[in-house]
Structure 1
Amino acid sequence: MGTSCLESRPLLQDLKVTIHESSMVFPSKKSNDEKKSLFLSNIDKALNFDVETIHFFASNKDFPPQKVTEMFKKSLEDALVVYELLAGRLKLNSKTNRLEIDCNAEGAGFVVASCEYKLSEIGDLVYPNPAFAQFVHKSKDYLNPGDQPLCVAQLTSFKCGGFAIGFTTSHTTFDGLSFKTFLDNLAALATNKPLAVTPCHDRHLLAARSPPHVTFSHPELIKLKNLSTDQESNVFKAFREELNFKVFQLTSNNILSLKEKAKGSTGSCVSRFNVITTHIWRCKALSAPSYDPAKSSTILYAVDIRSRLNPPLPREYAGNAVLTAYATTNCGELEKGPLSRLVEMVREGATRMSDEYVRSIVDWGELNDGFPHGDVLVSSWWRLGFEEVEYPWGKPKYCCPVVYHQKDIVLVFPPFVGGDCGDEDGINIIVALPPKEMEKFEKLFYTLA
């Protein structure tokens, strides 16, 4: 098929990053509203963990790092007026026993750092180097004991004049789409322009019904009963075993070939996302140790629910409005079944996400503590558009999350413009697996395509 696996030169383990300044930034204007708390939906509160993203920028002679630092800091202060939740803190409401955000204006973290390397020397930006974690701030030594900001931004300059902006944000604040809107607004404020989008902060739009009414069985969710046992089924769990990271590339021609194979006798239209997700599912399930054709396999993948509700959520909804759809079958069918049928299962998983199904999931979360349950989660950054954000100093060269030892999460990214793939309609697939499983996955990735 002509697919390829991106090989990387030895990764730098120490990027020689020095922290120069750590401080808090606060809203540039005081709110006229009384101190308030922000309700969190059951989707929000199930995502109580941090997301770390890095945005790399090439040097721009009109915008040296020092100037960018000043502009970026001011735009962040202005953004905290509109996104006052980012300057707040998570708290447990003692009356309702619910997690919420106290919009107390205690501020967001702001860190200024430098790297002793040029941007061109730190390695291929597409390749997942865990050392990139040095571009987001971990230490909270500049904070009061126990203080946990919901947003910390670190600007790291390189010797060439390029720089990286690393964000650490609580997932309770944004999903990928609303974070993209936040970045658009941040860029607009940095350019002294009006907001690109006025965010909608009404999380009650996704509140549970009263009384809750769970109308579906939801096999894609698992109740949290025994922490030690249930964590074994948590796709978000980080593993301590040795994992290899590899980037698999699909060109637009590769994807077209897969779509043609998936049409089957019906000749029906096949979406790019569905066929790529199905291909990943097959490779991941069949590369697992102790292959058993009768063993069941479940794939999870995010679906934006904004347009699926009745009435639809506003596009500017600034909370978490994605849920995990699923498809399940046995490994025997994944190995020998027609690709068209497998793709149809993935399509049906998204189609299942109707208004009533979404409300049922939200109500399930009102009655249970739990999380998504499956063998592999496909997390797509493919069409979030972080690279399209137009800052005064230009668009990012590349954007990526900090990678961790999570073998059951497969990341899908757009290609690096100007990279080896040379195909703006292709994709990159980042996989982390134990060495023997990676060998199987790589072989299957080519032979099943």
Structure 2
Amino acid sequence: MEGLEELNVKIVERCLVLPCLPSPKDTLCLSNFDNQPLLRTFFNTLLVYEACEKNLVDPAKTIREALSKVLVYYYPLAGRLRKKEDGKLQVECTGEGVLFVGAMVNNNLSAIGDLDYLKPSFKQLLFTFPFNTDLEELHLIVIQVNRFTCGGFVVVVTFHHSLFDGKGLGQFLKGLGEMARGEVMPSMKPIWDRELLKPRKLLVHNLDMIEDKTRGISHPWALPISKESIQVSLTLDSNTIKCMKQGLWKNVGKYTLHLKLLQL
């Protein structure tokens, strides 16, 4: 940690990016999975790009223009969250845009090391909302492009977890990259359809009954709370990921069979 430099980051632009074409003005439902209180938070993803000849063009300008194009297909991201009377969240497609931040860093990219250790000054690489920001004023996604003196840059994507899981964010970033490379549309267009995951009323009543009967009992799926936490880095090669997927599918197959037996 001693070898890592303190970062000197200067914000050079901050603007709203709107879809480059008119988008629908409607209100979209979130599924019950998306409405879990644990998902009502923001996560950050850091994408690090070393300097190369392809980086001669201003990356901030390229990404900002690509963002405006990809938002045509991901137009709900340009909207805002709204809370219904029952406390559930929904997305109002207002077209207000997403926040884009461009910054210059007076350091070489080597200053951040391999990100195994984070210094407080590294927080300058990402945008954070003030603690008292109202839910309905939050941007659903924020992108900050940090350009280093060596020509490398770091893109930090801050996203609301109610709108994205890891796979969904990956699909969005892939589409953003395709638009930045000059494609006219993403290779995989997003589909909303989250209202299909609404449970039936009967199921809701049954879950309420289960909750009443198990009140006060420690749920088996509750996450253990640890008083101490450590930061580690894991490197997963392709063979490890393949083995993990195979094991997962074996378990999924067992649960699928079990559910079919219950339905019979």
TM-score, structure 1 length as denominator? 0.48
**Matched residue, 1:265:** none
Alignment of 1:321-336 (within 5 A): none
**Matched residue, 1:12:** 4
| Contact 1:39–1:204, Cα closer than 8 Å, also in 2 | yes
Alignment of 1:24-103 (within 5 A): 24-31=16-23, 33=24, 35-46=25-36, 47-64=39-56, 67-94=58-85, 97-103=87-93
Which residue identity lines up with residue 179 of structure 1 in the other structure?
A: L
**Structure 1 residues 353 and 206: CA distance shift in structure 2, 3 A:** farther
Which residue identity lines up with residue 354 of structure 1 in the other structure?
A: T
Residues 1:178 and 2:168 are matched in the alignment:
yes
Alignment of 1:371-390 (within 5 A): none
Which residue identity lines up with residue 22 of structure 1 in the other structure?
A: R
- In structure 2, how many angstroms separate the alpha carbons of the residues matched to 1:215 and 1:144? 34
TM-score, structure 2 length as denominator? 0.77
**Structure 1 residues 188 and 200: CA distance shift in structure 2, 3 A:** same
**Matched residue, 2:244:** 273
- In structure 2, how many angstroms separate the alpha carbons of the residues matched to 1:167 and 1:54? 7
| Contact 2:43–2:158, Cα closer than 8 Å, also in 1 | yes
- In structure 2, how many angstroms separate the alpha carbons of the residues matched to 1:68 and 1:152? 16
Compute the displacement of 1:54 (Å). Answer: 0.4
Compute the displacement of 1:146 (Å). Answer: 6.7
Compute the displacement of 1:13 (Å). Answer: 7.0
Which residue identity lines up with residue 247 of structure 1 in the other structure?
A: S
3-state SS of the aligned residue for 2:58? helix
User: Which structure carries more helix by proportion?
Assistant: 2
Compute the displacement of 1:144 (Å). Answer: 9.7
Aligned length: 248
Which residue identity lines up with residue 45 of structure 2 in the other structure?
A: T
| Contact 2:81–2:136, Cα closer than 8 Å, also in 1 | no
Alignment partner of 2:112 out of 107, 111, 122: 122
- In structure 2, how many angstroms separate the alpha carbons of the residues matched to 1:355 and 1:199? 30
Alignment partner of 1:163 out of 136, 153, 156: 153
- In structure 2, how many angstroms separate the alpha carbons of the residues matched to 1:150 and 1:252? 32
Residues 1:203 and 2:194 are matched in the alignment:
yes
Compute the displacement of 1:353 (Å). Answer: 4.4
**Structure 1 residues 244 and 212: CA distance shift in structure 2, 3 A:** closer
* Partner deviation per Cα, 1:376-419 (whole Å, 9 max, x = no partner): xxxxxxxxxxxxxxxxxxxxxxxxxxxxxxxxxxxxxxxxxxxx
Compute the displacement of 1:351 (Å). Answer: 4.0
**Structure 1 residues 150 and 18: CA distance shift in structure 2, 3 A:** same
Which residue identity lines up with residue 69 of structure 2 in the other structure?
A: D
Q: Structure 2 regions of 5+ residues with no counterpart?
A: none
Alignment of 1:336-415 (within 5 A): 348=251, 350-351=252-253, 353-354=255-256
Q: Structure 1 regions of 5+ residues with no counterpart?
A: 1-8, 256-270, 278-302, 305-346, 361-449
- In structure 2, how many angstroms separate the alpha carbons of the residues matched to 1:163 and 1:208? 44
**Structure 1 residues 99 and 71: CA distance shift in structure 2, 3 A:** same
Percent identity over paired residues: 28
- In structure 2, how many angstroms separate the alpha carbons of the residues matched to 1:139 and 1:213? 34
**Matched residue, 2:97:** 107
**Structure 1 residues 145 and 177: CA distance shift in structure 2, 3 A:** closer
User: Which structure carries more strand by proportion?
Assistant: 1
- In structure 2, how many angstroms separate the alpha carbons of the residues matched to 1:208 and 1:135? 40
**Structure 1 residues 111 and 133: CA distance shift in structure 2, 3 A:** same
3-state SS of the aligned residue for 1:72? helix
User: How well do the aligned residues superpose, as a CA RMSD in angstroms?
Assistant: 3.9
**Structure 1 residues 244 and 26: CA distance shift in structure 2, 3 A:** same
| Contact 1:54–1:135, Cα closer than 8 Å, also in 2 | no
| Contact 2:4–2:111, Cα closer than 8 Å, also in 1 | no
Compute the displacement of 1:242 (Å). Answer: 6.0
